[in-house]
Structure 1
Amino acid sequence: MSKVLVIPDVHLKPWIFDKAEEVDKQRYDDIVILGDLVDDWGKSNELDLYKETLDRAAKFAKDYDRSLWCYGNHDVSYLWDAMESGYSIQARITVIEGVTKLERILEERYKFVHRIDDTLFSHAGLTETFTLHSCGYHVKDIDEILARVNRMGKQELWKNSSPIWARPQQDFYRMFRDDVFYQVVGHTLVEEPLDSCGVLSLDLFSTHSNGDPYGNQKLYIVDSVSRKYEEAG
């Protein structure tokens, strides 16, 4: 059993890492960062903020050397040269350098999907459709499936049902083996934690286009076995 402090989508808000460091370390065993460190409304020219955010992420990765990190669609869009909403042409080199530095620091701690007990952590969620089509119906072992997913690139992952793009909160996606595995995701903004159909959505720091908070801007600790969650304080 593990208590996991979850850091959802950062989107150029480096102070979220400060907030995480204020949480009593006795209250959790692990930390998982759900991805999307970069891009936000109207920030494409703020290169200093991009650099500050990525430098802060690198420091956090070093200081918390057991923390687990998930790639988000905004992060890999720069690595894969796949333009999308929010993509900053001006910040392209800054992001590539920053994410590459993180990869060197994190090594095997930087993946698309992490598993702790029977809880899966990813940016957007591992769907049944994606898993069956990408890994094949014959692959049954969860560790083999995750190893395959974590080796995938743009060709396999740049699609709506993938763990960096799925929106089970809005579309009908059956989640991968939802009778066995619980999933914790970001990606789709919510006002309060949304626990539905075996998926806990925690993208709580995103904003409206005018910069006003959309979510409650709180961090949560998730129990990887009981599936209960609580405010980190």
Structure 2
Amino acid sequence: MNILVIPDVHLKPFMFEQAAELMKIREADQAVCLMDIADDWMQQYNIDLYVQTYDAAIRFAKDFPNTLWCYGNHDLSYLWNQRETGYSPIAPRTVCEKMRVLREALPDERQMAYLHRIDNVVFSHGGLADEFVRKYIPAKKYYDLDAVLETINGFEWGIMWQDLSPIWYRPQYYEGNLYKPRKILQVVGHTPVEKIERKGNLISCDVFSTHRDKTPIGTQEYPVIDTETWEYHGIRMK
């Protein structure tokens, strides 16, 4: 199956519009959004942009109802009342309400979670660390990927609001192994990169983030992942 990945959004409504164009011409069978829909440099008081971006996400969810959504730290900072870089003091009510509408637009509430699996590819915002699994998952479940994901998807902020969790982990920087590094491919955002890149069985694709002056860090391409062959390519829209 070919999966179109929508990387970290950060108040860029055009990303959902471009992704919709790609889905309409069948560049992929399904989409996965790595979220971080909220927050961007110097936009804390631009409430209209928050509304526009979430409304674009909601339209996309309704138009492509099989889309999967991976919570990011910036999304959860509002739901859990945890301050975060770029957090808007005037947006909490708006974000929480729009997130509710977005969730209710999904055919199944489980389509919005920390982690999703398609074939042997796991999608998450930050990445699934082996240390995190060993620390929080009972040993008898360790080798059962579906049981691991189901258990973690039930965790709350007390466990998830830490550097090792799938919403915060940065495997590009931290030493230590990913969970099942030879058995599964992981696709992540969260950590800005200059281009879509694969290192081992990790594909990093946060290529839409910008510097403080709004210049792009990455290539602003949409990854398309073949979940059977693990091949991938990027599509750049004009």
Q: TM-score range by the shorter chain?
A: over 0.9
Mapping of residues 64-83 of structure 1, within 5 Å: 64-83=64-83
Partner letter of residue 85 of structure 1?
T
SS in 2 for 1:26: coil
Q: C-alpha deviations, 1:200-233, integer Å up to 9, x for none?
A: 0000100001111111111120111211111235
Residue 232 (str. 1) matches residue 235 (str. 2): yes
Q: Is the 8 A contact 2:5 2:31 kept in 1?
A: yes
Cα pair 1:124 1:187 within 8 Å, conserved? yes
1:109 & 1:33 partners in 2: Cα distance?
10
Is residue 14 of structure 1 aligned with residue 43 of structure 2?
no
1:186 and 2:185 equivalent?
A: no
| Aligned residues of 1:14 and 1:52 also touching (Cα < 8 A) | yes
**2:167 corresponds to which residue?**
164
Relative to structure 2, which stretch is displaced further, 64-73 or 98-107? 98-107
Provide the C-alpha distance between the structure 1 equivalents of 2:117 and 2:25, rounded to a whole number of angstroms.
21
User: Size of the alignment, in residue pairs?
Assistant: 232
Cα distance, 1:32 vs structure 2: 0.4
> Partner amino acid for 1:70?
C
Corresponding residue to 1:205 among 199, 204, 208: 208
Percent identity, aligned pairs only, is: 41
TM-score, structure 2 length as denominator? 0.95
> 1:216 aligned to 215, 219, 232, which one?
219
CA positional deviation for 1:149: 0.7
| Cα distance in 2, alignment partners of residues 163 and 136 from structure 1 | 17
* Aligned ranges 1:5-154 → 2 under 5 Å: 5-23=4-22, 25-106=25-106, 107-139=109-141, 140-154=143-157
How far, CA to CA, are the matches of 1:47 and 1:142 in structure 2? Answer: 40
Between the aligned partners of 2:43 and 2:188, the Cα distance in structure 1 is: 24
CA distance in 2, matches of 1:222, 1:232: 11
Unaligned 5+ runs, structure 2: none
Q: Secondary structure at the match of 2:135?
A: helix
The secondary structure found in structure 2 opposite 1:179 is coil
Residues 10-65 of structure 1: CA deviation (Å, up to 9, x unaligned): 00000001111221543311110011001000000000000110111011001101
Tell me how far apart the structure 1 counterparts of residues 167 and 37 of structure 2 sit (CA, whole Å): 13
Which runs of structure 1 show a deviation greater than 3 angstroms over 4 or more consecutive aligned residues? none
SS of residue in 1 equivalent to 2:170: coil
Shift of 1:92: 1.0
Letter in 1 for 2:226: D
- Write the distance in 1 (CA, Å) between the matches of 2:91 and 2:213: 21
